[in-house]
Amino acid sequence: MQSVSSSGLPYHNLTWIFCQAVTITRVKEKMVMEEGCQTPRSPEAKVGMQVEDLWDIQEPQLSPTEKLNACFENIPVSDFPPAPSNQVIEIKSDATLAEAVKLLSQHKLLGAPVVDVDAPEDASWIDRYIGIVEFAGIVVWILHQSEKMEGTAAFDFDSLITGAENILSPALAAAVNGVSSPRFRSMHPESPTATCGNFFETLTSSDLYKNTTVRDISGSFRWAPFLALQKSNSFLTMLLLLSKYKMKSVPVVDLGEYKIANIITQSAVIHMLEECAGLHWFESWGSKKLFELGLPLMKPNNVIQVAEDEPVLQAFKLMRQNGVGGIPVVESGGRRAIGNISIRDIQFLLIAPEIYRDYRSITAKNFLTSVRKYQGEHEKNSLFLSDMVTCRRNNSLKEVIMKLDSKKIHRIYVVDDMGNLEGVITLRDIISKLVHEPRGYFGDFFDGVLPLPANSRV
């Protein structure tokens, strides 16, 4: 991979000296004072101080974004704090979809690497890992089964593949191809999307669901490739993959041991940023108001949403059609949001299908009501699906980061004084405001792996 540093500076091991004046409250929160020196409270704060040291030696004529690019280019991903052990899991290729859903749900993950059980012990990571299984891909499988089980024809995959790169993540192309295109017919109450209350009980008790393995869907339109970084790759590379190239997580492999050394997620990056509050580089960036940074990116009338009385599967179809990881549920005929459904919430249709059996059809509102009740009984500390986390356009980026990190969520909705939707801000939107891609940066990194965005400058 061709990595071109914006500053031309080599990476240095710099001493941990933090001399920027910040509020005493924030300093006490983030640092431990020891005889005039300041020691980072957390591994994430240590990375923040490393950026601070690099920031201080950048050329003064560089813009703040250029400085951040240069800083992150000179920090290897091996310095990123390791993910908790319960978040670095592998799913065996002979595991069933039911087992995969259970594992992802238990560990609260969007996806996990799939290890080939037939690979030899000394296989390289390229041969050891055959892809990523995600809730996004499982959603497509569910939609496909709903079409067949409700007595209609399956998707016309050949026509849907055309233009797929404009629909979803270019970095997850294999999971994209074959997903519903924007030309797909709109849903209505008589549509097969309007599933009856016992549909998922029937599906999850079927031999098809119990016997379909992760390997069975590998290489199909529901599959995401295994795209990993080496420890020597830079933070800048990682941040670009998580933002512009729309990856939810990036595995970091250990070439010596042929295995995954770390998995860096969008959420982990946001947590790192939260731990950097009080540092000069973060405050100069994070103190900006959302509207000053052009956030939210989408105009109110372009926000993808589902009405409360529409079938819940319509929500998941809209996510797949538009390449988004979650959408708001709004009052019928209005703009006021009453809840949020994300791509990983498909798990609640699979792990507890019995909670919908009393409904004639599973609408978005019925889904929210049932899942809230289920979470209240089984997941006492979870954020309820129907709880909307919101902000205003005049909030600072720092305030939004704090809220996203404290709630452990992937998106926050921007509302006006009346509670009407004005937009949505995702973790990816925030990371994309932190760095930019230098011309020619990735070189041949993606060759043969995935299609690039139309506006890529590679």
Are 110 and 224 in contact, with CB atoms under 8 Å apart? no
pLDDT at 227: 87
In degrees, to the nearest 5, what angle opens at C-alpha 319 toward C-alphas 450 and 227? 25
> What pLDDT was estimated at residue 7?
39
Q: To the nearest whole number, what is the mean pLDDT of the chain?
A: 79
Provide the angle, in degrees to the nearest 10, between the axes of the packed helices 135-149 and 97-107: 140
User: Amino acid letter at 82?
Assistant: P
Q: What tokens appear for 442 in the block?
A: 């990735």
Is residue 184 within 8 Å of 321, Cβ to Cβ?
yes
- Tokens linked to 411: 């998106």
330 contact partners, CB below 8 Å, separation of at least 6: 305, 306, 307, 308, 336, 337, 338, 421
Confidence grade of residue 375 (pLDDT, cut at 50, 70, 90) = confident
Least confident of 12-21, 96-105, 231-240, 439-448: 12-21
pLDDT beyond 90 at 116 = yes
**Residue 216 and residue 210: Cα distance in Å, rounded?**
12
DSSP states along 57-99: TS-TTS-HHHHHHHHHHTSBGGGSPPPPGGGS--EETTSBHHH
Q: Pick from 248, 250, 253: which is nearest to 231 by CA?
A: 253
Give every CB contact of residue 190 below 8 A, 6+ residues apart in sequence: none
Per-residue model confidence (pLDDT) at position 431 = 97
pLDDT at position 226: 83
CA dist 320 → 65, 143, 155, 362 (Å): 32, 10, 13, 19
Q: Which residues contact 158 (CB under 8 A, 6 or more apart)?
A: none
pLDDT of residue 220: 60
Which of 46-55, 185-194, 211-220: highest mean pLDDT?
46-55
Q: What is the pLDDT of residues 253-296, one digit of tens each?
A: 988 777 899 999 999 999 999 999 999 999 999 999 999 999 99
Give per-residue pLDDT as tens, 121-168: 888 888 899 888 888 888 888 887 777 655 544 333 333 333 333 333
Share above pLDDT 70 across residues of the chain, in percent, rounded to a whole number? 76
pLDDT per residue over 294-349, tens digit each? Answer: 999 988 888 999 999 999 999 999 998 888 999 999 998 888 888 999 998 999 99
Q: List alpha helices for 361-451, DSSP H.
A: 364-378, 397-407, 427-432
Q: What is the pLDDT of residue 216?
A: 84
Q: What is the reported pLDDT for 33? A: 34
Distances (CA, A) of 127 to 91, 130, 228, 249: 15, 7, 13, 20
> In whole angstroms, what is the distance from residue 237 CA to residue 253 CA?
14
Length of the chain, please?
458
Is a pLDDT exceeding 60 seen at residue 179? no
Pick the closest to residue 316 from 66, 135, 107, 45 (CA basis).
135
Here the tokens at position 429 are 């939107």
Q: Is 181 helix (H, G, I), strand (E, B) or coil?
A: coil
Contact 275, 200 (CB under 8 A): no
pLDDT at res. 149 = 58
> In the structure, what pLDDT confidence band is assigned to residue 359 with cuts at 50, 70 and 90?
confident
3-state secondary structure of 270: helix
CA 369 – CA 341 distance, rounded (Å): 12
Average pLDDT for 5-22: 33
In angstroms, the CA 235 to CA 247 distance is: 14
Q: How distant, in Å, are the alpha carbons of 16, 130, 296, 299, 414 from that of 291?
A: 34, 42, 7, 12, 11
**Which of 10-19, 35-44, 173-182 is the most confident on average?**
35-44
**Tokens representing residue 208 in the block:** 């098809």
**Residue 25 in this model has a pLDDT that exceeds 50:** no
